[in-house]
Structure 1
Amino acid sequence: MPVTITSSNALYTDLSGYYDLMCADIDYQAQSTYVRRLHQLFGNEGKRHLDLACGTGPHIRHLVDNGYQSQGLDLNQPMLDQAKLRCPEASFIQQDMCGFTVESKLDLITCFLYSIHYSGDIEKLKGCIASAHSALRDGGMFCFNVVEKNMIDNRSFVRHSAQHDGEDFVFASGWHYPGDGERQSLKLSIEKHNGDETLRWIDEHPMVAVSFEQMRQLLSPYFDVYMFDHDYEKIIPLNNTSGNAFFACVKRGSTELAGQGLAA
């Protein structure tokens, strides 16, 4: 008989050991290379980097290998423990990305895999943006991807299977948006098959829902905002038919912000 386990945080705590299996289809190298290209085009020449919601650190691994001095931030210590094993050269801090601080100014802040939505609501998202702005040097970049709330298909799920230690796994994930408001969710499931036994974990994580235009408006007082198609092979401006976008945000200089009546 299959056993179903429902948890609000299982994937990131007791199931953290399965996280890399769930993300096995992700091309971390392509994503990291894409951000490096954006940073070369729009950012400064610095190499101090912070990855928000870093998970087990695969993006950090690629950026460290390409000369960045990286740190990782995550709310869940089991993830950070694995990230430290993967990236011993990097440093890691357990903080909430909606209100974090750093000891030294940064040149690049990343938040991959739509993790910016983990802010949960608009006020917390504003806190994340403010924290990133405060942590960056002038000309530093904040890069992340976003899903457009008004283009979410609640019927769409991504699935893949994997084998590990003689057991079969099936992973599924999909966005859900009720149609109005600032809340959406990420629905996740993991099935583990071992002979006649099946274990199933089901999680539903609260996320903040935004349109691309809402996100641009939240960022524009502090950053020059560039929006691109979600294509890691080409850097092309966002078109009007895509429900996924990559944002590259360059921090304005202190003088320019002061002219707008904003604190640097």
Structure 2
Amino acid sequence: MGELYNENLAWVYDEIYQGFIDYSAEYEFYKNLCNDHNRNRILEIACGTGNLAKSFTKDFNMYAGLDFSESMLNIAKEKFPPGNFIQGDMRHLEFVNQFDTILITGRSTSYLLNNTDLKQTFKSVHTALEDKGLFIFDCINADLFMPYILKNRNIVHKSNSNKKQFERDSNWVKSKSKKYHLIDWKSTYYQLKDTEKIVLGKDSTLFRAFTIKEITKALQHSGFKILEIIDRETYAFNTNVYVCKKE
């Protein structure tokens, strides 16, 4: 993961993504999926700064939010002090009690850069779920995204949040990896004030897109049955949302 999730820029993430993502709609999407399967005990992996935590805590019997970044969790705890937030690694989940539903939100599977990390995560989730537990996650569709970045290597996303204006200038370059669909992402974050464009920070990270075949194979290897694959648009690019059941 890049600098965006660390102490210096975590607050920028929290501010700018509230303009990128409609978190009310995001929550309703996941809530409806959980309710369709009568689920009540939720673990959200990659909960970030806790933008979904309050709603999950209100509507479900149990909610825990896990994130790798301590800086992001510190913001989450300030925003929603009653929240059950835990610092941890999705590849190595350690819980005494199992969940009936585990979510990985925010396309955070993108940081599983190799198949070992991917399989470790899926196996870890499998262990943390009760029998027939529900596993829901989203990931970037490589078949759509890789051609897209060849035509859109430089792109600007604007955000209006909390009466502030922000801009993210991104440069996407396909890595030379022949085994995985990896993208080198460099971005600069700005705040716009009147005629000024103030640099808030720069970030550089490597992330991964997946084909349906890659994800399907890893899920089957880890003991999951795919119930549904949902094609979903986001503010930046299309994703696949996988709804799976532990077997």
TM-score normalized by structure 1?
A: 0.78
Report the CA distance between 1:133 and its aligned residue.
0.7
- Residue of structure 2 in register with 1:159 after alignment: 157
CA contact (8 A) 1:98 1:119 kept: no
Number of residue equivalences = 234
- Which secondary structure does the structure 2 equivalent of 1:113 belong to? coil
Indicate how the Cα distance of structure 1 residues 211 and 176 shifts in structure 2: closer, same or farther if over 3 A, else same. farther
- Residue of structure 1 in register with 2:203 after alignment: 203
CA contact (8 A) 2:42 2:60 kept: no
Report the CA distance between 1:170 and its aligned residue.
1.3
Answering whether residue 172 of structure 2 is matched by residue 189 of structure 1, we say no
Q: Which structure 1 residue ranges, 5 or more long, are not aligned? A: 1-6, 233-241, 253-264
Out of 65, 69, 73, the position equivalent to 2:62 is 69
Indicate how the Cα distance of structure 1 residues 188 and 50 shifts in structure 2: closer, same or farther if over 3 A, else same. farther
Residue identity matched to 2:35 = Q
- Residue of structure 1 in register with 2:232 after alignment: 230
Residue identity matched to 1:189 = T
Report the CA distance between 1:78 and its aligned residue.
1.4
CA distance in structure 1 between the aligned counterparts of 2:187 and 2:54, rounded to whole angstroms:
25
Answering whether residue 79 of structure 2 is matched by residue 81 of structure 1, we say no
- Which secondary structure does the structure 1 equivalent of 2:90 belong to? coil
Q: Which structure 2 residue ranges, 5 or more long, are not aligned? A: none
Matches within 5 A, 1:127-138: 127-138=120-131
Out of 240, 244, 247, the position equivalent to 1:249 is 244
CA contact (8 A) 1:186 1:204 kept: yes
The percentage of aligned residue pairs carrying the same residue is 24
Residue identity matched to 1:128 = T
Answering whether residue 7 of structure 2 is matched by residue 13 of structure 1, we say yes
- Residue of structure 1 in register with 2:30 after alignment: 35
Report the CA distance between 1:172 and its aligned residue.
4.0
- Residue of structure 2 in register with 1:169 after alignment: 166
Bigger mean CA deviation after superposition, 80-89 or 7-16: 7-16
CA distance in structure 2 between the aligned counterparts of 1:53 and 1:111, rounded to whole angstroms:
6
Report the CA distance between 1:127 and its aligned residue.
1.0
